[in-house]
Amino acid sequence: MTKQPAQLTQDDLHKIEEAVQEAEARTGGEIVPVLAKQSSFYEVALWRAATFLAGLSGVLLTVVYLTTDLLLFMPPYLWLLLVLTAALIGMTLAISSWPVKRLFLSREKLTARVLDKAKNMFYDHEVHLTEPRTGILIYVSFFEHQAVILADLGIDELVTEDSWSGIVQQLTRGLNQGRTTESICEAILACGQLLEESGVHKPIDDDNNLSDEVRINE
């Protein structure tokens, strides 16, 4: 099972920071890892779960009423109470269980929310403020089991957007396998290697404009 940000130990975070330092030692890129519990609360999943269980309970009550005498003398308000209780249970399950919540969300919606959040994090964590414009955001969102890599203008001139796709795929595969810390470190080092091969060289007077620490977005 994928670790959430709150479940990462200090040793895990230290390993990720060491990977950032190692990757940046060979290239002019400034890598910023941001780990998020989820990219959105997804209120729509709660309402969908509530509607689904309410509808299911209504169907089951109707079937029981038509085929047996068990509900023959039940007051109508109890029917309504049972349906509302089922809706509340559905909403509670969606809040408390990530697998249940994901059942009521399309992959397209998850991907769109993760990308939007990654773009916000790019500016919130000032990845765009390095002087040579060589900042890179590695954004990991654990609820969605998805990751996004965004590079600033100085890197976009040398590295195509498609070049990051292989790293992202390997990272998300590792997350799904439960190799959270290892896969993040591997992705960081892979980014450093790609930058080095693409000619994003480390300047002599490199000041390390962005901190190497892991940013946690709960």
Q: 60 vs 49, 51, 146, CA distance in Å?
A: 16, 14, 37
What average pLDDT does the segment 14-20 reach?
Answer: 96
**Where do runs of H (alpha helix) occur along the chain?**
10-24, 43-67, 76-96, 98-103, 107-124, 153-156, 165-176, 180-197
Give the per-residue pLDDT at 5. Answer: 85
Give the per-residue pLDDT at 98. Answer: 95
Give the per-residue pLDDT at 152. Answer: 93
Q: What residue ranges do the domains of the chain occupy? A: 5-40+106-217, 43-103
Give the per-residue pLDDT at 131. Answer: 83
Nearest to 31 by CA among 179, 205, 189: 189
What average pLDDT does the segment 126-146 reach?
Answer: 93
Give the per-residue pLDDT at 218. Answer: 74
Q: Give the mean pLDDT of the chain.
A: 91
Each residue's pLDDT tens digit, 59-110: 998 888 888 887 777 787 888 999 999 999 999 999 999 999 999 999 999 9
Q: Which residue has the higher pLDDT, 131 or 207?
A: 131
| Amino acid symbol at 121 | M
Strand order across the beta sheet in which 30-36 lies = 146-151, 135-141, 30-36, 215-217
Q: Which residue has the higher pLDDT, 19 or 79?
A: 19
Give the per-residue pLDDT at 201. Answer: 80
Each residue's pLDDT tens digit, 147-189: 999 999 989 888 887 889 999 999 999 999 999 999 999 999 9
Q: How far is CA 69 from the centre of its chain?
A: 50
Q: Can you tell me the distance from the alpha carbon of 95 to that of 101, in angstroms, rounded to the nearest whole number?
A: 7
Q: Can you tell me the distance from the alpha carbon of 30 to that of 209, in angstroms, rounded to the nearest whole number?
A: 7
CATH code of the domain occupying 5-40+106-217: 3.10.310.50
Q: What is the dihedral of CA 108, 144, 154, 213, to 10 degrees?
A: 170
Q: pLDDT at residue 12 above 90?
A: yes
Give the per-residue pLDDT at 2. Answer: 77
Q: How confident is the model at residue 4 (pLDDT cuts 50, 70, 90)?
A: confident
Cβ(133)–Cβ(200) under 8 Å? no
Q: pLDDT at residue 32 above 70?
A: yes
**Which residue carries 């091969």 as its tokens?**
197
Cβ(94)–Cβ(100) under 8 Å? yes
Give the per-residue pLDDT at 204. Answer: 63
Give the per-residue pLDDT at 51. Answer: 97
Q: pLDDT at residue 205 above 80?
A: no
